[in-house]
A and B are shown apart, each in its own frame.
Chain A
Amino acid sequence: MALLQIAEPGQSAAPHEHKLAIGIDLGTTNSLVATVQSGEAKTLTDFDGSAMLPSVVRYEADKITVGQAAAAASAEDPTNTLISVKRFLGKSQAEIEQSYGQLPYEFVENNGSLAINTLVGAINPVQASAEILKSLKERATASFAGEDIKGAVITVPAYFDDAQRQSTKDAAELAGLNVLRLLNEPTAAAVAYGLDSGQEGVIAVYDLGGGTFDISILRLNQGVFEVLATGGDSSLGGDDFDSALVAHFKEQTQINDLNNSELRLFINKAKACKEALSSYETVNVGLELRDTAHTVTVTRAQFAEMVMPLVKKTLRACRRAVKDADVSHEEILQVVMVGGSTRMPVIREQVEVFFDKKPLTSIDPDRVVAIGAAIQADILVGNKPDSDMLLLDVLPLSLGLETMGGLVEKIIPRNTTIPVARAQEFTTFKDGQTAMSLHVLQGERELVDDCRSLAKFSLKGIPAMAAGAAHIRVTFKVDADGLLSVSAMEKSTGVQAEIQVKPSFGLSDDQVAQMLKDSMSNAKEDMQARMLKEQQVEALRVLEALEASLSTDSQLLSDDELAALRSEMQKLADLRETAISPDEIKTAIEAVDAASSEFASRRMDMSIKQALTGQSVDEV
């Protein structure tokens, strides 16, 4: 039989066709992109053969530069060269000033969303992050002769809270990436390491990057990567070690009133000094400014003493994570070091003392996260249908609600496996009350002021009843990306309460939509045409997925049910060709979705039954 397959151009693709999916490590200092090619995950390089893209964005009047070229201008043009913006994602100005002290930027804030003033106007951290993602996206497209990227897995620090995760996802959307999943960095590292080494059992991943610290304890078992506990500090990283050196330089040179350019010089020198100290016992740092050449000498021991409080902070997080994971130190078979900052000898020594075993430093701490993300992206996009890899991750920080007296009541505790849904009931305290407001917080402390405010919700449209008669059931859902959504319902009447989300930090949905629109009109793209194209692609995806499910499981539907579903599918297939407005297709997709709901649910029940009996369908 001739192995010939005929498909109309733009119609259904062969199911085994390889789809381009990428993994992106969006780092504080450097970012990388990787993909799986012929079964092997590789980081992609730029024209110079460099895999690491400095996470630096420079805004000039007529252009935006990303990477090495931007980084080179940091001292010369400090206010327009945005470095380490990851640390600002989902944060307020007050928080940033408290955490990082002097920075060469002019921050502005409106409606709780933070931005940095540059010569082209206010740029928020989401926009700057999107530029970095775009640059990596272009690199991937260029590596594959302009092939479309079907989806991306983007890594985030495990300890990122909801606002920081949402901001990362917004940045990806702005960059025009289809986000398959937000993946926690230590989990990504564990995937790359675990698959490569075949290690089974409990491991710890100590991940100290440029701006964030994570510790995750995982159990590896036959392709299952189960996070037992995670901990960390989303504003502790290599940058803070640099700051300790900057303080030392200031003290030694007796210069305390640095301007922006001098501050950037000091930070750059500090970074270089820190890196040199990983190879040398003593480093002489030359600081030339104000017509004087200063030389500051730093020994490894001096540096270790300066940064010990930071190192201890990471170890405290380790102690808590080990405790939360409910494992003993002896059970932890391997400590995997991830992130460029784990090259510092003081870190390696202290981690070894804490875990009482030599940490594993043989894997490339810079690339392992991107590699892990690429492996998961490859699976999620459907290139490896037989893969039995399973990632079970956790919520890093407890979610709670404000109660009387400024206290926080925990709804979902930290280290709960996600996805998770928990409901809580509330009642009205006034006769005829039709609205109530809820304040959602994330963190471990008891007082509202000590936790991070995520959002304030107002529930409206509660039916007017006597005080205490209305029972409002509020459901918190955290999806596999670690993102929270909230819904509410009055129980006796079944009235769904309207929820208005006002994120305390980061951007609102409207702001993101507006930025997306702006970016497209700037690029002179026709918004409508692009949205139509997107809906056509989505329609095809939906139809193909359903067709594949029907080809194996159509027996789960009665003839009538099958006919009804087929009819909606046909309508969508026709509209996909003829529709001129994206909304028409969207409506038809929703109709197919609704018509297939019963089928989807029966298929899932069948999978569960099969999983439990371990039998194939034929045997049942």
Chain B
Amino acid sequence: MHYFELFDIPVSYDVDLNAINTRYLELQRVVHPDRYAGKSEREKLLAVQKAAEINDALAVLKHPVKRAEYMLSEKGKDIRAEQQTLQDPMFLMQQMELREALEDLPQSNDPEAAIEDFEQEIKLLDKQYSAQLSSQLSSDDDAQLDAAADNIRKLKFVYKLRDELARIEDSLFD
């Protein structure tokens, strides 16, 4: 897997964020465009491309959902561009309820406390859906990978909720 190789870290869903950050800085020290300010246009361009690639790899490796999607796509199942296909009525019902609760947040008596509670709830869901990803993504078994895909889809919902919460928080205090 290219991004893992680029950062010279083991291919695993469980990553060592410290190691990633250290590698990242080591890499940027040699490829950053500032190192190529006096060089030819070709080298400058190459530096921008390489630095951008490393930045992108960092973003993917650090982000739980992006990392999972990337690993899955490297195993031949690319779900990054798919339209929503999740079919789990229980889960969708729960999401709808959470969305409604989120929309009511600004009207609650103590929005700040409500936001905090909601954050906790999101964290729990995050844990719940990412718990099995490590073993599922290390497998080459089709059923395991499909299960991983479903978990990732659910995680995406959770992260969307998180973004939405941040947006509401912004609008609330701006």
Contacts and interface: CB of A to CB of B under 8 A. Distances in A.
B156 interface: no
Those 7 A-B pairs whose CB atoms lie nearest each other, nearest first = A380-B37, A607-B30, A421-B52, A480-B33, A419-B52, A593-B42, A600-B43
Interface residues of A, number: 50
B26 A221 contact: no
Interface in A538-559: 541-542, 545-546, 549
B7 to A, nearest CB: 8
Given A593-B41, A600-B43, A604-B31, 16 more contacts: A180-B37, A224-B25, A224-B28, A316-B174, A382-B38, A390-B28, A390-B29, A390-B34, A391-B34, A480-B33, A480-B51, A596-B43, A600-B46, A604-B46, A604-B50, A612-B8
**Most chain A C-beta atoms within 10 Å of own C-beta, residue among B28, B30, B42, B47:** B42
B28 A479 contact: no
Interface string B56-92: 1011000000000000000000000100000000000
Interface of A: 151, 180-181, 221, 224, 226, 316, 319-320, 323, 376, 379-382, 388, 390-392, 416-422, 425, 477, 479-480, 541-542, 545-546, 549, 592-594, 596-597, 600-601, 603-604, 607-608, 610-612, 614
A181 B34 contact: yes
A204 B50 CA distance: 29
A324 to B, nearest CB: 9
A416 B63 CA distance: 13
Contacts of B32: 390-392, 480
A599 to B, nearest CB: 9
B96 to A, nearest CB: 21
Contact of B30 (A151, A419, A420, A610): A610
A316 B33 contact: no
14 contacts: A221-B25, A224-B25, A316-B173, A319-B173, A381-B38, A416-B59, A420-B56, A421-B49, A545-B39, A545-B40, A604-B31, A604-B46, A608-B27, A611-B26
Contacts of B33: 419, 479-480
B34 A596 contact: no
A477 B45 CA distance: 11
B40 A600 contact: yes
Contacts of A600: 39-40, 42-43, 46
Contacts of A379: 34
A547 B58 CA distance: 34
A390 B38 contact: no
Contacts of A419: 33, 48, 51-52, 55
Given A379-B34, A390-B25, A600-B40, A477 B173 contact: no
B29 A388 contact: yes
Nearest to A180: B37
Nearest to B27: A611
Nearest to B48: A419
A603 B47 CA distance: 11
Nearest to B54: A608
B26 A593 contact: no
B162 interface: no
B166 interface: yes
Contacts of A594: 42
Nearest to A594: B42
Nearest to A605: B50
B173 A611 contact: no
B43 to A, nearest CB: 5
